[in-house]
Amino acid sequence: MKTVIRLIAAAAALLLVIPLAACIYDGPPDSSGPEPEDHRGVYVCETGRLVFPGDGKTVRIEINDELASRLGLPAGDYEATYVFLYNSGIWRYDQCDELRIFVNGATYRFNNDFTSTSFERIVISKADDPGNYFVFERAGDG
């Protein structure tokens, strides 16, 4: 009798876990719409700027000590590479939840607010401080 009860309990637990697992990962967002163009030009915030050549891979970062400290990036003026990700796979910035920036072998992770990030604006937060947003607005081709 105990074996039957254990089997019923295991089956019930399995029936509860399978639907929950399906909700955790539902695949990448639908990308059937037009893909946005790569960021290009100068994007500024209060104490720094990002300069994108438009290749979808590289960025020049120009930030002061204060912003560097808040973002967790090195201060100064330097080249970096970047990628937008969804569930660790490279994805378009208007539908992904993560931005990674690579500087001299180090990786910096940021949450991407894909509901606000566009060609005209980049909205990110530190992975360990998701409520504190940094907004970089496009200021031109500069």
Reported as a single tens digit per residue, the pLDDT across 60-71 is 999 999 999 999
> pLDDT of 82-131, one tens digit each?
999 998 899 999 999 999 999 999 999 999 999 999 999 999 999 999 88
List all residues 6 or more positions away from 44 whose beta carbon is below 8 Å from its beta carbon: 50, 136, 137, 139
Longest dimension (CA), the chain: 77
Beta carbons within 10 angstroms of residue 30's beta carbon? 7
pLDDT of the residue at 137: 98
pLDDT of the residue at 33: 79
Q: Where is 58: in which H helix or E strand? A: strand 58-63
Rounded distance between C-alpha atoms, residue 17 and residue 82, angstroms: 36
pLDDT of the residue at 120: 97
Q: Where is 14: in which H helix or E strand? A: helix 2-24
Name which residue leads in pLDDT, 7 or 105. 105
pLDDT of the residue at 118: 96
Best CA proximity match to 47, nearest among 77, 81, 79: 77
Q: Cα(first)–Cα(last) distance of the chain, in Å?
A: 77
Q: What percent of the chain has pLDDT over 90?
A: 69
Rounded distance between C-alpha atoms, residue 49 and residue 86, angstroms: 25
pLDDT of the residue at 45: 96
pLDDT of the residue at 22: 42
